[in-house]
Amino acid sequence: MKSTIKRIVGRIIVTSLFLIAVTINYNIALSYSFNFVGPNTANNGDTVTLTITGNGLTGKVNLSASNASLSDNSVWIEKNSVSVTAKITGFPATITATPNELTDNNYNIVSISSKTVTINEKLKPTPKPTQIPQNTPSPTQIPSSTPSNQKPNTTPSTQQTNPPPVTNNSQGANQSKPNQTTTSSTTGKQSPSGETNFQTQTPNIEDTTSSNNYLSMIKVNKGNLSPNFDREIFEYNVENFNDEQIEISAEAEDERATVSGTGTIALINGENIINITVTAENQAVRVYQINIDKGQEFAQSDLRLNALEVKKINEDGNFYDIDIGFDKDKFEYIINVESDISDLDIIPTVDKEGTIVETQGKENLVEGENKISITLSNIEDDTKTTIYSIKVIKAEKPIVEISTIPQRKSWIWIIVGSVILLGILLGIIYFIRNKKKK
């Protein structure tokens, strides 16, 4: 009997330990997350950065997009974050990341649903047209009745169309008739005492002045407007424009409206803001704005780099090489870096002696777009320059998402099961001791 009880107690203890180990292992296997983030809004033609994060996950993630062109159709994650870029071509733009047989820390294939980022167009501020009040005189009201103790003025006014009846039979032949106008009418009513009361009615005069101050089109002789023209969009951009001037033409919807601010406009390096003003016939004003970012003309001289080495530096001070596909006759580059990259190490090698190299913008990178310029100039003639430009797109720091797989309340069951097993064990021990005493 005692040996049987001991065997039962031993099996209960072993089973409990096994269940605890399995439950702990199950919870460790669930400690992973999958996340896909990107901006909520953008302008048409913008290049945006999206980040895929797989904490505790390894494998391939497929990408698909609508109204956007992707830099990669698939990426490989290995318990890390990977960034991709997408150029917006319409709205709403949707980019979907679909996991393809990802594995957890125990190399088990896990099932994770797709994540989608939807990007809408940035709202444009709508300027309110200036309303100019119009002074419209109110019609003069003539009383419709006359008190019985007061006689009306029998002298006809110039607004009467029907003269009052003549009470004097000896009216002279030279008496003139009252003038008639089209702005009012007069009605007469005779009272029992023989007097006549008059009431003048003035019709409402409708204002036909046009208030339409919309444009029907805007055109530029070079470059492209972004977004495409729409009468309800009042701000546009012209990007990558390097000419010294631009020709802008615009037409109003209403031929009675006037347009100003168009024609040939000289540009300065950097940001240029051009306002096109539309004034309606009633003097209400509406403004359309065009932003032009004019850059300097690249390759202004024969100065060149022989090589350009680029390294990224993370927040811990570690260096990682970047292959930008350097070509000495290619002057613009675009690279993507992770959210923990703080600086770039730029090491240029010049082609000619006596070349001065100046690098700007390589430190303290911010999330989103960063511009780095490498300017070459001659030590004897600094008016001749060549500029290499690098656009660095830094990913946003990912927001860790809790795993979408429902977590079972395993620890609660472990505690409950342990209490039950402990109660059974104490009961068996108590039973054995009582039996020995007997």
- Give the tens place of pLDDT for each residue, 259-307: 999 999 998 888 899 999 999 999 999 999 999 988 755 445 788 999 9
166 exposure class (CB count in 10 Å sphere: 0-12, 13-18, 19+)? exposed
For residue 286, the one-letter residue type is R
Distances (CA, A) of 362 to 50, 315, 372, 373, 394: 22, 14, 6, 8, 12
* Closest C-alpha to 396, from 15, 51, 4, 44: 51
The DSSP bridge partners found for residue 340 are none
What CA–CA distance (Å, rounded) separates 336 from 85? 8
Q: Within its chain, how far is the Cα of 243 from the centroid? A: 29
Model pLDDT, residue 178: 42
Which parts of the chain sit beneath pLDDT 70? 1-12, 14-31, 124-207, 296-300, 382, 399-411, 437-438
Burial group, residue 118, by CB count within 10 angstroms (0-12, 13-18, 19+)? middle
Q: What is the pLDDT of residue 3?
A: 64
Query: Whole-prediction pTM value?
Result: 0.32
C-alpha 199 chain-centroid distance: 62
DSSP-assigned letter for residue 43: -
Specify the amino acid at residue 236. Answer: Y
CB 343 within 8 Å of CB 365: yes
Residue 234 has what pLDDT?
95
Instruction: Using CB atoms within 10 Å of the CB of residue 303, give its burial: 0 to 12 exposed, 13 to 18 middle, 19+ buried.
Output: buried
Three-class SS state of 124: coil
Residue (of 411, 419, 405) closest to 32 by Cα position: 405
